[in-house]
C-alpha cells in the first residue's frame, strides 16, 4: 500500500514533520559552521547593532529589546558557509527563550532576496530544546559540475513587543547528511467527509488500497452496531494522489446520528455525522470570516469571538507619532519605482483616503481585482437566495452573522459586502487627472513584512499602485450588481453605485489596455497581473445590462468573443478568469435578454455542468476539478468550489437532482475525502487545516494570537510549490499533484487564506444550506 500525504508534527516546530522518513545515502560529513559551540567566545559570529550578545554558561545569549516589528529586525548570524550544489545537509542547534518568543532560524543565501535553503521556526522554552532539519541544495544544470554556493546561518529574534532573553548553542551545518525524504502520516486509509452527509444526499468514500478485487465494507453507528455493509469498487491507480484506490457508495444509509464510522480493508475512517441541516453552520462561519479581516475598524471579541479582537489596522495618520502609517492619506508609487515596474514613468500628485475594505490574504494588502470577485460572490449568494427563497435567505438576513451591523434592518451579508465595496469606490482616480475614472489596482506596503504582525503594528509606508483596466472593470461589474441589490435597502447608495458603474465603464473603454504587470509583485504585495481583460469587459457589460437594460451593453455583449464561447474552464474560474461570473448572472438573474439568447446562455451553463458532473463520477475522490495540465493550481480548493457552483447553478436552472447530488458530493473533498485525509476548512472534521498563512491568525508563531477562525478555507494542493517550506519538503522527491500541501504557516503557496477563496465557499455554503 502506498500512502503519500503529510501532517505537521506540532504547530510550533514547523520544520519537524511526522511520518515515515526515508533517508538517502550519505556521503562524507563535514562541519561548515565555525565556533558553533562558542568555545572561542563570540568569534566568527555577527549581530545587529541593537543587541550586545555575550557568552553565558557556554552559550551565546542576548537580551532582546521589545518594540521591534519583524523577526529580522534583530539577528545573530554567521557568514561564509560553503554549500555544494546538489548536496544534502543537516542544520541543528539548541535554543532557549525566556520568556518564550519566536525564533526564526535559517540557512539562507547571504544577499537579497535572502532565499532560504531551510527554515526552522519555533518558540523555545527557558529549559531549552534541540531543533534540526535536513535540506538539499539545488543541483547544477545538466552537464555542469557542481559549484560551491555561499550561505549564512541566521537566527532572527525580533518582533516582540516586550523584552526577552535568547540563547543558542551547538549550532551545526554538516554536509554529506542523510537527507530525510518526507512520507508523512495521514491517519486512516478510509477517507470520508469527516464532517458528515445529508440524509437524502450522496454518501461516498474512498479507500486507499492495493487490493485488486473488491473488499468488504461496513458502516457502524456510534454504539458499534453494523447498520449497512457491501463491497468496494476498485478504481485503479489515481495519478493526482499517487495512490491505488477503491470507492464505497453507502448512499442507502438513511439512519441519522453522530459518530458513524466506515470500516474497510482492515482500517476505519474518522467519525462522521448523518443529519439534515448539516451545512447551515458552515454558511454562517464562512461568511463571518470577513469581519475579522476588515481593515480600518476595531475588531471586537464580543462579535468575532474570543481571541479575535484587535485594534483597528491602518488608521494612523502620517503626521502623528503612530507607528501605523494608515490608509487615510495614501500617496502613489514614486516615478522611479513605477518606471522599473511598468517600463515607463507613472505617479500622481494626489493622495487618497482608502480606508476600510478587507485585507486580501496573509498580508496587509488590499486588492481591487481580488476584492471584486469576492464582493460579487457574496452578492450573488444573496441574490440567488432572494430569487429562490429557501434556507439560505433566512441564514443571510439581518441578525444572522457575526458582524457589528447586525440588527440594522439590512441583510448581514450585504452589510459585509458593502464594507469592501465602499473601499473599492475610494480607489477611483479623482477628476482632473489624465486617468480620471480609472481605479487603482491595489494598495499595500512598500516592503514585505514578516510573520506574525498585527495590522495596527505595521510600520511600513502604504502606496497606491497604478490604475488598471482590470481593476476598473471589476468595480464597474460589482457596482452594477450592487446597484440592483442595495436599492431595496438604500436607494441613495444604489444611485451612487450605478453612477460609478457607468463612469468606470466609460473610463475602461477609454483606457482598454492598461495592464497590471507581474513585475509589480516584488516588494510588499502580490502583483495580480492580468494581460487579457476581455473577460472583465464581458462581465461588466453583463452586470450593467442586467441592471439597466440598456441596449449599448447588450450590443457589447453580443460582439464579445465570450458571447458564444465556452467560458467554463476545467480548472474553474478565479479573479483572472471572470467571464463565468457574467455568464452565471445572465443565466439566473431576470433581465431583458431575449428568450432565444437566454436559452443559449442557460444551455452553456448546463453543458459545462454536464462536463463537471462527469468529472465528479470519474474522480475517485469525487470532486469536479480535473485540470488539463494534470497539475493542481494555486488555490486549488477554491477552484473545486467554483466548478461545484456551476453544477449547483445547473440544478437551480433545471431541478435535475443529478446536478444537486454532484454538487453536494463535491464538498466531501474539502472536508476530508481527499489524498491527504484532512479537512481543508478550519474547525470542520476530526483533522483540519489550522496553520494557514496569515500575519495575525498566527497561533503557530505566537500562542497569544488565534488560529484562522472556524470556516476558513485553506488554499490547498499546489503543484508549483513556490514557497521555501513546500520546496524543502517536496522539491527533491516531488509530490503527486493532489498532495502538494502542508499545513504550515510559512507555506504561503499551499496554505494561504484569502477573501476570494472564502467568498466562493460562502456562495457554495449558501447552496448547500438549502439542500
User: Can you read off the three cell numbers belonging to residue 90?
Assistant: 543537516
476: nearest Cα among 512, 440, 500: 500
Per-residue confidence (pLDDT) for residue 114, from 0 to 100: 87
pLDDT tier at 112, thresholds 50, 70, 90: confident
Cell for 748?
A: 504561503
What pLDDT, on the 0 to 100 scale, is given for residue 317?
A: 62
Integer-rounded Cα radius of gyration of the chain: 27
What confidence score (pLDDT) does residue 20 get? 43
Residue 25 has what pLDDT?
A: 46
pLDDT, position 6:
27
311 with 174, same domain: the answer is: no
C-beta of residue 739 within 8 angstroms of C-beta of residue 242: yes
Element housing 243 (H / E): strand 243-249
3-state secondary structure 333-395: CCHHHHHHHHCCCCCCCCCECCCCCECCCCCCCEEHHHHHHHHHHHHHHHHHHHHHCCHHHHH
Contact in structure between 193 and 668 (CB atoms under 8 Å): yes
Q: Which residues contact 142 (CB under 8 A, 6 or more apart)?
A: none
What are the start-end ranges of the E strands in 365-523?
Answer: 366-367, 439-440, 442-445, 462-464, 467-468
715 vs 721: CA distance, rounded Å: 12
Last residue of a domain, one of 143, 178, 213: 178
If DSSP codes are grouped into helix, strand and coil, which group holds residue 101?
Answer: coil
Residues 362 and 482 in one domain: yes
For residue 471, give the nearest of 520, 408, 431 by alpha carbon.
520
Alpha-carbon gap, residue 209 to 189, rounded angstroms: 7
Q: Per-residue pLDDT for 27 more than 60?
A: no
- Are the CB atoms for 622 and 665 separated by under 8 Å? yes
Phi first, then psi: give them for residue 62, nearest 5 degrees.
-150, 140
108 within some domain: yes
Q: CA 512, 514, 518 angle in degrees (round to 5)?
A: 135
* 164 shares its domain with 306: no
What average pLDDT does this structure show over 193-198?
98
Domain count, the chain: 2
In this structure, of 114-123, 231-240, 357-366, 561-570, the range with the lowest mean pLDDT score is 114-123
Indicate if the alpha-carbon torsion angle 732, 681, 15, 457 is positive or negative. positive
Look at residue 74 and tell me if it is in a domain.
Answer: yes
**Whether residues 356 and 489 fall in one domain:** yes
Give the helix, strand, coil percentages of the chain, each rounded to 5.
30, 20, 50
In this structure, the answer to whether residues 47 and 167 fall within a common structural domain is yes
Residue 612's Cβ-side half-sphere holds a number of Cα atoms within 13 Å equal to: 37
206 burial via Cβ count (<10 Å: 0-12, 13-18, 19+)? buried
Could you give the residue ranges of the DSSP H alpha helices within 619-721? 636-654, 657-670
Facing residues of 149 across strands? 83
Distance of CA 61 to the CA centre of its chain: 38
- Most confident among 1-15, 447-461, 752-766 (mean pLDDT): 752-766
**Strand bridging mode 196-197 / 272-274:** parallel
Q: Would you give the distance in Å from CA 318 to the centre of its chain?
A: 31
- Whether omega before 452 lies within 30 degrees of 0, making that bond cis, reads yes
Q: First CA to last CA across the chain, in angstroms?
A: 37
Assess if residue 99 is contained within a domain: yes
Q: How far apart are CA 208 and CA 242, in angstroms?
A: 10
Q: Peptide bond preceding 255: is omega within 30 degrees of 0, i.e. cis?
A: no
In our burial notation (b when 16+ CB lie closer than 10 A, e otherwise), range 360-386 reads bbbbbbbbbbbbbbbbbbbbbbbbbbe
The answer on pLDDT for 14 being more than 80 is: no
Is 596 buried (19+), middle (13-18) or exposed (0-12) by CB count in 10 A? exposed
Looking at residue 10, its pLDDT comes to 27
Does the pLDDT of residue 718 top 70, yes or no? Answer: yes
Same domain, residue pair 342 and 482 = yes
Cα dihedral 390, 391, 396, 399 sign: positive
- Catalytic residues, by residue number, are 363, 693, 743, 752
Residue 116 · residue 161 · CB < 8 Å: no
Q: Which residues pair with 233 in a beta bridge?
A: 247
How much is the pLDDT for 319? 56
Q: Flag whether 357 is in a domain.
A: yes
* Alpha-carbon separation of residue 80 from 34, 49, 347 (angstroms): 9, 20, 41
Print the domain residue range for 516.
290-530
Average pLDDT value for residue range 298-309: 97
Specify whether 296 is located in the same domain as 172. Answer: no
Give the pLDDT confidence of 324-364 residue by residue, as tens digits.
Answer: 778 999 999 999 888 888 888 899 999 999 999 999 999 99
Percent pLDDT > 90 in the chain is 83
SS3 label, residue 636: helix
pLDDT tens digits, one per residue of 688-714: 999 999 999 999 888 889 999 999 999
User: Is the overall model pTM greater than 0.95, yes or no?
Assistant: no
pLDDT of residue 409 exceeding 80, the answer is: yes
At residue 137 the predicted structure's pLDDT band, cuts being 50, 70 and 90, is: confident
558 inside domain: no
The residue with cell 500512502 is 3
The pLDDT of residue 400 is above 60 = yes
Task: Please say which residue of 515, 530, 545 terminates a domain.
Answer: 530
Q: Residue 549's closest CA among 518, 520, 589, 510?
A: 589
Cell triple for residue 463?
502606496
Residue 356: all three cell numbers together: 476600510
- Give the whole-angstrom CA distance, residue 592 versus residue 546: 7
CATH number of the structural domain spanning residue 462? 1.50.10.10
Show which of 157, 178, 199 is a domain's final residue.
178
Same domain, 171 and 294: no
**What's the pLDDT score for residue 389?**
86
Question: Crossing angle, helix 412-426 and helix 469-486, to 10 degrees?
Answer: 140
pLDDT of 289 over the 60 cut: yes
- C-beta separation of 184 from 5 below 8 A: yes
Residue 319: inside a domain, yes or no?
Answer: yes
Mean pLDDT, residues 377-406 taken together: 94
Contact indicator for 72, 450 with CB cutoff of 8 Å? yes
Give the cell for residue 149: 554556493
Tell me the per-residue pLDDT of 573-631, one tens digit each, with 9 for 90 and over. 999 999 999 999 999 999 999 999 999 999 999 999 999 999 999 999 999 999 999 89
Residues 6+ apart with CB under 8 A from 363: 444, 445, 448, 449, 524, 525, 526, 695
Residue 591 lies in a domain: no
Q: Where are the alpha helices (DSSP H) in 62-215?
A: none
Question: What are φ and ψ of residue 276, in 5° steps?
Answer: -75, 165
- CATH code of 88's domain: 2.60.120.260
Q: Give every CB contact of residue 306 below 8 A, 6+ residues apart in sequence.
A: none
Residue spans of beta strands (DSSP E) within 232-296: 233-238, 243-249, 257-264, 267-268, 272-274
Retrieve residue 459's grid coordinates.
510600520
Q: Which helix (H) or strand (E) holds 230?
A: strand 226-231
Would you say residue 213 lies in a domain? no
Q: Give the span between the Cα atoms of 373 and 269, in whole angstroms.
A: 36
CA separation for the pair 748, 641 (Å, rounded): 20
For the range 307-312, what are the long-range contacts, defined as Cβ-Cβ under 8 Å and sequence gap of 24 or more? 307/705, 307/706, 308/706, 308/709, 310/454, 310/455, 310/456, 310/696, 311/454, 311/456, 312/455, 312/456
Task: Provide φ and ψ at 476, rounded to 5°.
Answer: -55, -45
Looking at the DSSP bridge assignments, the partners of residue 504 are none
In the structure grid, which three cell numbers stand for residue 628, read together?
488539463
C-beta separation of 501 from 543 below 8 A: yes
Amino acid at each position: 500500500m502506498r500512502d503519500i500525504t503529510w501532517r505537521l508534527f506540532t504547530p510550533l516546530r514547523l520544520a519537524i514533520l511526522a511520518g515515515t522518513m526515508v533517508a538517502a545515502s550519505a556521503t562524507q560529513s563535514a562541519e561548515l559552521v565555525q565556533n558553533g559551540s562558542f568555545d572561542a567566545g563570540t568569534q566568527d559570529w555577527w549581530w545587529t547593532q541593537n543587541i550586545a550578545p555575550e557568552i553565558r554558561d557556554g552559550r551565546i545569549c542576548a537580551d532582546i529589546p521589545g518594540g521591534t516589528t519583524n523577526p529580522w529586525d534583530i539577528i545573530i548570524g554567521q557568514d561564509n558557509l560553503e554549500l555544494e550544489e546538489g548536496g544534502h545537509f543537516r542544520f541543528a542547534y539548541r535554543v532557549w527563550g525566556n520568556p518564550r518568543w519566536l525564533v526564526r532560524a535559517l540557512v539562507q543565501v547571504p544577499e537579497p532576496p535572502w532565499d532560504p535553503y531551510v527554515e526552522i521556526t519555533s518558540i523555545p522554552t527557558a529549559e531549552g530544546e534541540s531543533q534540526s532539519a535536513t535540506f538539499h541544495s539545488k543541483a547544477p544544470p545538466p552537464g555542469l559540475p557542481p559549484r560551491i554556493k555561499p550561505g549564512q546561518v541566521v537566527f532572527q529574534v525580533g518582533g516582540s513587543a516586550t523584552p526577552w532573553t535568547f540563547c543558542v548553542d551547538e549550532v551545526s551545518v554538516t554536509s554529506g547528511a542523510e537527507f530525510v525524504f518526507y512520507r508523512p502520516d495521514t491517519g486512516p486509509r478510509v477517507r470520508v467527509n469527516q464532517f458528515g452527509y445529508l440524509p437524502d444526499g450522496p454518501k461516498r468514500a474512498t479507500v486507499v488500497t492495493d487490493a485488486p478485487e473488491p473488499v468488504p465494507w461496513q458502516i457502524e453507528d456510534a454504539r458499534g452496531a453494523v447498520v449497512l455493509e457491501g463491497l468496494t469498487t476498485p478504481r485503479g491507480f489515481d495519478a493526482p494522489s499517487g495512490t491505488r484506490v477503491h470507492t464505497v457508495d453507502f448512499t442507502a444509509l438513511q439512519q441519522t446520528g453522530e459518530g458513524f464510522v466506515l470500516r474497510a480493508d482492515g482500517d476505519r475512517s474518522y467519525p462522521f455525522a448523518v443529519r439534515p441541516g448539516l451545512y447551515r453552520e458552515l454558511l454562517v462561519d464562512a461568511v463571518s470570516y470577513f469581519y475579522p479581516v476588515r481593515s480600518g475598524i476595531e475588531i471586537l471579541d464580543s462579535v468575532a469571538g474570543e481571541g479575535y479582537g484587535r485594534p483597528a489596522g491602518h488608521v494612523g495618520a502620517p503626521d502623528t507619532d503612530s507607528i501605523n502609517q494608515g490608509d487615510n492619506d495614501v500617496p502613489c508609487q514614486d516615478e522611479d519605482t513605477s518606471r522599473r515596474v511598468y517600463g515607463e514613468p507613472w505617479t500622481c500628485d494626489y493622495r487618497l483616503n482608502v480606508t476600510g475594505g478587507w485585507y486580501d490574504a496573509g498580508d496587509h494588502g488590499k486588492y481591487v481585482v481580488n476584492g471584486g470577485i469576492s464582493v460579487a460572490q457574496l452578492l450573488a449568494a444573496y441574490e440567488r437566495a432572494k430569487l429562490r427563497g429557501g434556507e439560505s435567505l433566512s441564514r443571510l438576513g439581518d441578525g444572522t452573522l457575526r458582524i457589528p451591523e447586525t440588527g440594522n434592518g439590512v441583510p448581514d451579508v450585504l452589510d459585509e459586502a458593502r464594507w469592501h465595496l465602499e473601499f473599492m469606490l475610494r480607489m477611483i482616480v479623482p477628476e482632473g487627472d489624465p486617468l480620471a475614472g480609472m481605479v487603482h489596482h491595489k494598495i499595500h506596503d512598500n516592503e514585505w513584512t514578516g510573520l506574525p504582525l498585527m495590522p495596527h503594528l505595521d510600520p511600513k509606508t502604504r502606496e497606491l499602485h497604478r490604475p488598471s483596466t482590470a481593476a476598473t472593470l471589476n468595480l464597474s461589474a460589482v457596482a452594477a450588481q450592487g446597484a440592483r441589490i442595495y436599492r431595496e435597502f438604500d436607494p441613495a447608495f444604489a444611485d451612487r453605485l450605478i453612477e460609478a458603474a457607468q463612469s468606470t465603464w466609460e473610463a475602461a473603454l477609454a483606457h482598454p489596455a492598461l495592464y497590471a504587470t507581474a513585475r509589480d509583485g516584488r516588494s510588499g504585495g502580490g502583483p495580480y497581473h492580468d494581460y487579457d481583460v476581455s473577460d472583465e469587459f464581458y462581465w461588466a457589460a453583463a452586470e450593467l445590462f442586467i441592471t439597466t437594460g440598456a441596449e449599448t451593453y447588450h450590443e457589447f455583449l453580443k460582439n464579445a468573443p465570450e458571447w458564444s464561447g465556452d467560458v467554463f474552464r476545467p480548472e474553474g474560474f478565479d479573479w483572472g478568469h471572470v467571464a463565468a461570473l457574467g455568464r452565471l448572472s445572465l443565466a439566473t438573474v431576470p433581465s431583458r435578454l431575449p428568450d432565444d439568447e437566454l436559452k443559449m446562455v442557460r444551455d452553456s451553463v448546463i453543458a459545462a455542468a454536464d462536463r463537471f458532473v462527469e468529472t465528479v463520477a470519474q474522480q475517485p475522490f469525487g470532486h469536479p476539478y480535473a485540470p488539463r495540465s494534470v497539475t493542481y493550481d494555486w488555490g486549488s480548493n477554491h477552484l473545486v468550489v467554483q466548478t461545484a457552483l456551476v453544477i449547483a447553478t445547473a440544478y437551480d436552472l433545471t431541478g435535475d437532482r443529478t446536478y444537486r447530488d454532484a454538487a453536494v458530493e463535491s464538498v466531501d473533498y474539502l472536508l476530508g475525502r481527499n489524498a491527504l485525509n484532512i479537512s481543508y476548512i478550519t474547525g470542520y472534521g476530526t483533522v483540519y487545516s489550522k496553520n494557514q498563512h496569515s500575519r495575525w491568525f498566527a497561533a503557530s508563531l505566537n500562542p497569544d494570537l488565534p488560529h484562522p477562525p472556524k470556516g476558513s478555507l485553506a488554499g490547498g494542493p499546489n503543484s508549483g510549490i513556490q514557497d521555501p517550506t513546500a520546496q524543502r519538503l517536496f522539491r527533491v522527491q516531488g509530490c503527486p499533484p493532489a498532495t502538494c500541501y502542508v499545513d504550515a504557516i510559512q507555506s504561503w503557496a499551499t496554505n494561504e487564506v484569502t477573501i476570494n477563496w472564502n467568498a466562493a465557499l460562502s456562495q457554495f455554503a449558501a447552496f448547500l444550506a438549502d439542500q
